[in-house]
């Protein structure tokens, strides 16, 4: 009886051991266990993260890309622990969102800038835009504020000192060329080009219209447009997590930048700056 009991115990331990072995079977050749990290993005374009994931895989980090169709769920999912990180939003959007929703999230790295541009069918330089000219700008708050900041950087207008990224036309304090602003839906900004001197078009809309900011715009955002640089965000408690920090490092390596430059042909600009440059 004792022998039978002993045999049953041994068999039971063997089964349990086999179960643990199968659960931890995803290991590197070195014997170190791999870890899976869920990164949320918005949209279906995973090219830059697929590239980073291949590099991470070699170090035992499995990046699982989780796609969302909006700009709210990736942050709430992160805050609720469904994601380990997300990478889809600009600094300006992030700062406003976490304040309004009282979320304890922080950025750990910058990634890319999707530059907004000033486009024209009539002029090759913003300096050539005449007095009294019409310039189309998006009519939604986030894009309009960004467009006005770009027009200020281009030297066409000046804005109030307390202007924020979601500001509007009524905060234009100086307009030496007496520019007439034509407010249109973002999707319409390329279509009105024949009717205006210039149009300020966001990156996604420009891309859909076959326009590339670095080639076709007469003026576009540069790396100094810090409110509009995209970031990798995590929960504050994870800001020093070694695995997440390593993923950020892999994204900011030179080969990743070269891949983005080639793959996106100027529609995205790799922009790796210290967190202090974006106010963190």
* pLDDT, tens digit, 9 for 90 and up, residues 82-112: 999 999 999 999 999 999 999 999 999 999 9
**185 within 8 A of 138, measured Cβ to Cβ:** yes
The two structure tokens encoding residue 90:
């600009």
DSSP label of 221: -
- Over residues 274-279, the mean pLDDT reads 96
270 forms beta bridges with 112
- Over residues 131-157, the mean pLDDT reads 95
- CA 107 to CA 147: how far, in whole Å? 24
pLDDT score for 141: 85
- CA 210 to CA 190: how far, in whole Å? 10
pLDDT score for 7: 42
Class of domain 33-114+226-278: alpha beta
- Over residues 65-77, the mean pLDDT reads 96
- CA 174 to CA 153: how far, in whole Å? 13
Q: CB-side exposure of 142: number of CA atoms within 13 Å?
A: 13
Q: Is the pLDDT of residue 235 over 60?
A: yes
**143 within 8 A of 165, measured Cβ to Cβ:** no
- Give the residue among 122, 276, 262, 128 at the shortest CA–CA distance from 192: 122
- Give the residue among 183, 154, 166, 180 at the shortest CA–CA distance from 228: 166
CATH code that applies to domain 117-220: 3.40.190.10
Share of the chain above pLDDT 90, in %: 83
pLDDT score for 60: 98
Handedness of CA 227, 229, 230, 235 (dihedral sign): negative
- CA 190 to CA 148: how far, in whole Å? 17
**170 within 8 A of 148, measured Cβ to Cβ:** no
Give the pLDDT confidence of 107-140 residue by residue, as tens digits: 999 999 999 999 999 999 999 999 999 999 999 9
- CA 118 to CA 149: how far, in whole Å? 11
Can you state the percent helix, strand and coil of the chain, rounding each to 5? 40, 20, 35
Region(s) of the chain under CATH 3.40.190.10: 33-114+226-278, 117-220
pLDDT band at 15, cuts 50/70/90?
very low
Q: Is the pLDDT of residue 8 over 50?
A: no
Q: DSSP characters for 75-136? A: HHHHHTTS-SEE---BHHHHHHHHHHHT--EEEEEEEEE---EEE-SS-SSGGGPPTT-EEE
**113 within 8 A of 228, measured Cβ to Cβ:** yes
- Determine the 3-state secondary structure of 69 from DSSP: coil
- Over residues 189-205, the mean pLDDT reads 97
pLDDT score for 142: 81
The two structure tokens encoding residue 88:
């889809």
- Give the residue among 198, 178, 181, 176 at the shortest CA–CA distance from 132: 178
pLDDT band at 5, cuts 50/70/90?
very low
pLDDT band at 164, cuts 50/70/90?
confident
């Amino acid at each position: 009886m004792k022998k039978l009991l002993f045999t049953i115990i041994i068999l039971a331990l063997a089964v349990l051991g086999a179960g643990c072995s199968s659960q931890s079977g995803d290991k590197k050749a070195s014997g170190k266990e791999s870890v899976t990290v869920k990164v949320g993005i918005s949209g279906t374009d995973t090219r830059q993260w697929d590239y980073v994931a291949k590099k991470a895989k070699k170090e035992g980090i499995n990046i699982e890309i989780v796609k969302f169709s909006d700009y709210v769920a990736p942050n709430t999912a992160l805050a609720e622990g469904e994601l380990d990180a997300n990478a889809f939003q600009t600094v300006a959007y992030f700062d406003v969102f976490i304040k309004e929703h009282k979320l304890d999230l922080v950025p750990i790295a910058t990634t890319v800038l999707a530059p907004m541009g000033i486009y024209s069918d009539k002029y090759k330089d913003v300096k050539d835009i005449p007095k009294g000219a019409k310039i189309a700008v998006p009519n939604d708050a986030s894009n309009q504020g960004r467009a006005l900041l770009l027009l200020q950087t281009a030297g066409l207008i000046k804005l109030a000192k307390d202007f924020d990224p979601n500001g509007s036309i009524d905060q234009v304090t100086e307009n030496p060329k007496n520019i007439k602003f034509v407010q249109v839906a973002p999707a319409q900004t390329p279509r009105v080009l024949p009717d205006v001197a210039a149009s300020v078009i966001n990156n996604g809309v420009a891309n859909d219209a076959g326009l590339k900011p670095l080639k076709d715009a007469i003026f576009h955002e540069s790396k100094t447009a810090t409110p509009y640089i995209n970031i990798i965000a995590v929960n504050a408690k994870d800001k020093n997590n070694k695995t997440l920090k390593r993923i950020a490092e892999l994204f900011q390596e030179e080969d990743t930048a070269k891949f983005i430059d080639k793959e996106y042909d100027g529609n995205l600009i790799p922009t790796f700056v210290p967190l202090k440059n974006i106010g963190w």
